[in-house]
Every structure is written in structure tokens, then in C-alpha cells.
């Protein structure tokens, strides 16, 4: 897609620190790493988010994420790897081309505060009401 920075990265039209690619997936280092080793996986075919990406590309991204997570583990020996993905400006998606984040954390690195949310029991009636609606939509 014209004017999409990640399409341009996948085509090699703008530089990136590439770590892997196959016919569907391109993998490179995040230029503003949350922690060292922060890596992004994108489909080569433009899709904005989880609603647009094809099932085959989504499967390819997640298959590749396992390989990349294994490589990250062998190289960096992290105490954990956070895997996440944002869909929509309302949850702070900034680049509107689907991307999966892999963020390793080494033992001596600062806390990954974004993964450290407070556990507060929800309203069980509301949890059930929403869960039932989603289940119906899935049926």
C-alpha cells in the first residue's frame, strides 16, 4: 500500500534491521525498543489489523513468532518474552499495518510495566453478560 511505512520496509524500500523473512512474513527490530531485542513481525501483504489480515497470513505470523522467540531466547537468555499486538488507534496502534511485538526482558532490565496490571475482581454479572454476547456472536 502506498505511503505505508511497514509495506516499504517489507519491500526493502526503506532500511530496517531485518532478522528474518519468508514468502509471507518480514521480521525486523523495532527502532524504538521498549527493551533490547524488541522485534516486530509483519505480513508482507498490507492489512491494517486483526480484522483485515487473512487467516493464512495470521497463521504464518504466529508460526514465525515461535521461531523468532526461540532465536531470541537462545541469543539473549531473557527471563520472559511479552507478545502483543494492537488493533486501532483507541488502543494506541500507531502504525496501521498489522504487526506482532515480541519484547524480551533480561533479568537486569527495568520492569516491563505495561504487562504489570493490577488484578481487581470484575463485576461477575457484567463478565457473564458480555461473555454470553460474544459466545452468541461466535455460534
Active site residues: 99
Give which of Zn ion, ligand AMP, none residue 46 binds (C-beta under 5 to 8 Å, depending on kind): Zn ion
What part of residues 94-113 is at the interface with ligand AMP (CB under 6 A)?
A: 94-95
Return the C-alpha cell found at 51: 480484522
Q: Which is nearer to ligand AMP, 16 or 65 (CB)?
A: 16
Binding-site ranges for Zn ion (CB under 5 A): 1, 4, 6-7, 46, 97
Smallest separation (angstroms) from ligand AMP to the CB of 88: 10
Strands of 3-135 (E only): list them.
18-21, 25-29, 39-43, 80-84, 100-105
Q: Which is nearer to ligand AMP, 60 or 103 (CB)?
A: 103
49 interacts with ligand AMP by CB under 6 A? no
User: Do the Cβ atoms of 30 and 68 come closer than 8 Å?
Assistant: no
Contacts by residues 53-62 (CB-CB < 8 Å, ≥ 24 positions apart): 53/98, 56/24, 57/24, 57/25, 57/98, 60/22, 60/24, 60/25, 61/24, 61/25, 61/98, 61/100, 62/100
> Nearest residue by C-beta to Zn ion?
4
d(CA 8, CA 17) in angstroms, rounded, equals 13
Q: Which of 34, 52, 105, 35 is nearest to 61 (CA)?
A: 52
Smallest separation (angstroms) from ligand AMP to the CB of 57: 17
Q: Which is nearer to ligand AMP, 71 or 86 (CB)?
A: 86
Q: Indicate which single residue of 5, 75, 79, 130 sits in contact with ligand AMP (rule: CB under 6 A).
A: 5
Binding footprint of ligand AMP on the chain (CB under 6 A): 5, 16, 30-32, 86, 92-95
Amino acid at each position: 500500500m502506498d505511503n505505508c511505512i511497514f509495506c516499504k520496509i517489507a519491500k526493502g524500500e526503506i532500511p530496517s534491521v531485518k532478522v528474518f523473512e519468508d514468502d509471507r512474513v518480514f521480521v525486523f527490530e523495532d527502532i524504538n525498543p521498549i527493551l533490547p531485542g524488541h522485534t516486530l513481525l509483519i505480513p508482507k501483504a498490507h492489512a491494517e489489523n486483526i480484522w483485515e489480515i487473512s487467516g493464512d497470513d495470521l497463521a504464518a505470523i504466529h508460526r514465525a513468532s515461535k521461531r523468532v522467540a526461540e532465536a531470541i531466547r537462545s541469543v539473549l537468555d531473557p527471563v520472559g518474552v511479552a507478545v502483543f499486538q494492537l488493533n486501532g488507534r483507541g488502543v494506541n496502534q500507531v502504525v496501521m499495518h498489522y504487526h506482532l511485538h515480541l519484547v524480551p526482558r533480561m533479568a537486569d532490565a527495568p520492569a516491563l510495566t505495561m504487562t504489570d496490571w493490577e488484578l481487581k475482581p470484575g463485576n461477575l454479572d457484567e463478565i457473564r453478560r458480555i461473555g454470553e454476547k460474544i459466545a452468541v456472536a461466535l455460534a
